[in-house]
């Protein structure tokens, strides 16, 4: 598919990688429907995109709410005059060991149900429901297209990320599942598994832990959103790419 033919939803579009994807798509002439819970960030994104060859439409979206997802897809289809793509990017972190011992008191502490569920609701359930609704809308109009899921290197397992790893592993697995299920509609599905990327999410990490991770990246630096955009652009443009996950991690092994 050509970038300037895209009418594409980007979730988590107000900041980080989602914001970068939305701007790069608009620079290439695409129409983008960016959704996020951060309305201030969305307003700034829409303002920055003025004058670009494409257009960015914005609307508040909480992917953890099924009604929100359905309404957003309907709105996006109308705003862009069609729909042929999705970058399934929205995600959150609620890290914590599943079981740990308090260093001071010796108390055994368990990961809370709220920590678990918040990540699953956004990173997996929300991503699944918006993919479902986007594909249903495209299938009902006979529109071919492409879905890109944002997985993670953490899908292989990472200490303190039981919830995040589970969600990202499931998205990688469903990339293959959905590629098979959506083939009859002419819809491809690919995934990207970033390593450590410079975003507001990673900027909030403990500095010592951040430095230790960067020291283990063979290319010698933290990734940039542009590194991930290159992979997203490839998936959109290569009509023979389907059902696979691309690791873009600088060679980092967790």
| Residue 164 known to be catalytic | yes
Q: Which residues contact 254 (CB under 8 A, 6 or more apart)?
A: 153, 154, 156, 157, 158
CA 109 to chain centre: 31
> Which phi and psi (to 5°) does residue 72 adopt?
-65, -45
Instruction: Give one word for 113, left, alpha or beta, with left for phi > 0 and alpha for psi -120 to 50.
Output: alpha
> Which phi and psi (to 5°) does residue 63 adopt?
-70, -15
89 close to 19: Cβ distance less than 8 angstroms: no
Catalytic residue among 129, 164, 178, 182: 164
Nearest to 60, CA basis, from 11, 94, 25: 11
Nearest to 137, CA basis, from 61, 59, 72, 55: 72
Residue reference for tokens 């999705």: 86
Interatomic CA distance for residues 21 and 93, integer angstroms: 20
180: tokens are: 């098979």
> Which phi and psi (to 5°) does residue 143 adopt?
-95, 125
Catalytic residues: 164
């Amino acid at each position: 598919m050509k970038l300037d033919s895209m009418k594409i939803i980007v979730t988590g579009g107000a900041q980080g990688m989602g914001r970068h994807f939305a701007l790069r798509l608009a620079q290439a002439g695409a129409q983008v429907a960016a959704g996020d819970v951060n309305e201030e960030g969305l307003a700034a994104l829409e303002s920055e995109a003025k004058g670009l060859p494409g257009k960015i439409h914005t609307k508040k979206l909480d992917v953890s709410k099924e009604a929100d997802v359905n309404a957003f897809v309907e709105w996006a289809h109308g705003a862009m005059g069609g729909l042929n793509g999705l970058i399934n990017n929205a995600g959150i972190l609620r890290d914590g060991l599943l079981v740990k011992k308090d260093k001071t008191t010796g108390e055994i502490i368990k990961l809370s149900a709220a920590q678990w569920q918040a990540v699953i609701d956004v990173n997996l359930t929300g991503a699944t429901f918006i993919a479902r609704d986007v594909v249903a809308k495209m299938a009902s109009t006979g529109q071919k297209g492409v879905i890109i899921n944002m997985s993670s290197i953490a899908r292989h397992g990472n200490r303190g990320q039981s919830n995040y790893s589970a969600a990202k592993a499931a998205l990688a697995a469903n990339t293959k599942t959905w590629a098979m299920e959506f083939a009859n509609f002419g819809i491809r599905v690919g995934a990207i598994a970033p390593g450590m990327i410079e975003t507001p999410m990673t900027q909030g990490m403990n500095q010592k832990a951040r430095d230790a991770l960067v020291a283990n990246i063979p290319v010698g630096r933290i990734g940039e959103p542009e590194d991930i955009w290159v992979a997203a652009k490839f998936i959109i443009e290569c009509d023979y790419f389907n059902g696979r996950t691309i690791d873009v991690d600088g060679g980092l092994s967790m």
